[in-house]
Amino acid sequence: MEFSLSETQAMVQKAAREYATRAILPEAAAIDREERFPRAILKGLAELGLMAVNVPEELGGAGAGPVAYALAMQEVARACASTAVTMAVTNMVGEVIAAFGTDEQKKTYNPRLASGEYVAGAFALSEPGAGSDPGAMSTTATRDGDGWVLDGQKQWITSGAHAGVMVVWARTGDREKLPGTRGISCFLVEGGTKGLVVGKAEDKMGIRGSNTVSLTFDACRVPASALLGQLDGGFKIAMMALDGGRIGISCQAIGIARAALDESVQYARDRRQFDKPIAEFQATQWKLADMTTELDAAHLLAMRAAWLKEQRRAFSREASMAKVFATEAANRICNKAVQIHGGYGYIREFAAERHLRDARVTMIYEGTSEVQRIVIARSTLA
Ligand code: COS
């Protein structure tokens, strides 16, 4: 068993930590307060190769692998969860195109996503009536001459207003013959395409510097070359992409929780009550001990899933286990961080309340905790 990092992994981690500490952390509170989409910061991430960590070098990516990506995600999320989710989705979109795209699609989109020419990519699967059950989607793509016409609505689309390219799922099969998860295809739609209408940005509890919108496809025409992967074979692409995406969100949660723990340690050392630092009270120590242990367990689960992915072995169950544990642990950790900070944990002057707000969504997006448990239980009972 090998727990140490390769030279490349250590280098990516160091580069991400250095940039996150220097360029992202000082902006994080303002990004949240002003709901600012951090364009310049995202460009900087792209320049470091962090928008396409696990995309091959010949397509403009860093080619550093899933473990390096997981480490980088933790570092960025530790500084700013909003920036981290934009990075996570962009990396996921790049990986999907690299894995399923034609040479032409890869040549067109991967270098743009990796270099920051496109500030972000977007992943448009969920709909108002199809969240945990994407097989119930109703957006359609109808063949029309040499192209496709998309009609329908997508919901909760991260970076939907800014993405240069989005991966969009739609029904292509006859609903009678190919119901549910069958008869769904995947398309690459460029931002600004005629018939693609971006809805208003959601006013969210956390990750307020990320952009979340609905998208309406109103007779939105795309060429035949926009089809990604096999006709009617799009559902599996979504599931495979989400398996990897779930490692990313585990690591986002771990990064947020790590920040909450570090700040709690600092606060517990500085804050004095009853003539001594509150770190000297067992009530505080036990909280810190549990936070440390849970964070490490989350980290190990996430790294195991990333390592399996790197070995090209099955990792779906392990990604779901990492996600459900890491995101729920992060919420417990952030909640304890607020408690350790007392009244100061409840005001904006300290970051503890932001961490708790940011952590909450990690149990919801890219598959709720309930969906992760479905995936895990199916494998346990198989
Ligand atoms: N990798 C590859 N293929 C997969 C897969 C995976 N991880 N998971 C499922 N599939 C395949 C199945 O093998 C099945 O293939 P066949 O039709 O050839 O048999 C097909 O996909 C349908 O799978 P299944 O029957 O399991 O689909 P369900 O409708 O029961 O859905 C869950 C399963 C709940 C796991 C799925 O719908 C899901 O992940 N939902 C959450 C979606 C989500 O995360 N949304 C967030 C969007 S981003 S904010």
Query: Would you say the CB of residue 135 lies under 6 angstroms from ligand 1?
Result: yes
* Residue 245: closest CA among 373, 84, 61, 137: 84
DSSP state of 68: H
CA distance 78 to 20: 8
- Distance between CA atoms of 163 and 210, rounded to whole angstroms? 12
Q: Helix (H, G, I), strand (E, B), or coil: what is residue 266?
A: helix
State the Cα–Cα distance between residues 133 and 153, nearest whole angstrom.
Answer: 15
All domains in the chain, ordered by first residue: 7-119 (1.10.540.10), 123-232 (2.40.110.10), 236-381 (1.20.140.10)
Ligand 1 atom nearest to CA at 181: 22
Given a contact cutoff of 8 angstroms between Cβ atoms, the answer to whether 89 and 81 are in contact is no
- Convert 50-69 to b/e letters by CB count within 10 Å (16 or more is b): bbbbbbeeebbbbbbbbbbb
Distance CA(90)–CA(113), nearest Å, equals 7
Q: In terms of C-beta density within 10 A (0-12 exposed, 13-18 middle, 19 or more buried), how is residue 253 classed?
A: buried
Which residue out of 96, 181, 375 has the highest number of ligand 1 atoms within 8 Å of its CB and is therefore the one to mutate?
Answer: 181
The residue whose CA has the least distance to atom 8 of ligand 1 is: 239
- For residues 216 and 213, what is the distance between their CA atoms, to the nearest angstrom? 10
Q: Is 7 helix (H, G, I), strand (E, B) or coil?
A: helix
pLDDT, one tens digit per residue, over 181-194 is 999 999 999 999 99
* Residue 11 CB burial class (10 angstroms; 0-12, 13-18, ≥19): middle
Gap between the Cα atoms of 90 and 83, Å rounded: 11
Distance (Å, whole) CA 108 – CA 41: 24
In angstroms, what is the span from residue 47 Cα to ligand 1's centroid? 34
Least Cα distance to 80 among 122, 126, 40 occurs for 40
Question: By the 8 A CB rule, do 96 and 105 touch?
Answer: no
At 176 the pLDDT is 87
Q: Quick check: CB of 240 below 6 Å from ligand 1? A: yes
> Is the Cβ atom of 314 under 6 angstroms away from ligand 1?
no
Look at the pTM and tell me if it is higher than 0.95. Answer: yes
Name the catalytic one among 34, 353, 366, 370: 366
CA pair distance 77, 350, nearest whole angstrom: 17
As a whole number of Å, the end-to-end CA separation of the chain is 28
Residue type, 76: V
Query: What local confidence, expressed as pLDDT, does residue 174 receive?
Result: 85
> Rounded to 5 degrees, what angle do the CA atoms 10, 362, 120 make?
65
- DSSP label at residue 215: E
Nearest protein Cα to ligand 1, atom 38: 132
Q: What are phi and psi of 326, to 5 degrees?
A: -65, -40
Question: 178 phi and psi, to 5 degrees?
Answer: -125, 75
The per-residue pLDDT for 25 is: 98
User: Residue 44: what residue type?
Assistant: G
Q: Tens digits of per-residue pLDDT, 215-263?
A: 999 999 999 999 999 999 999 999 999 999 999 999 999 999 999 999 9
**Which helix (DSSP H) or strand (DSSP E) does residue 149 occupy?**
strand 147-158
Ranges of residues in the chain whose predicted pLDDT is under 50: none
DSSP H stretches of helix in 54-182: 65-79, 81-100, 103-115
- Please say if 117 is a catalytic residue: no
Q: Which of 84, 241, 73 is nearest to 168 (CA)?
A: 241
Report the alpha-carbon distance of residue 153 to residue 143 in Å, rounded: 18
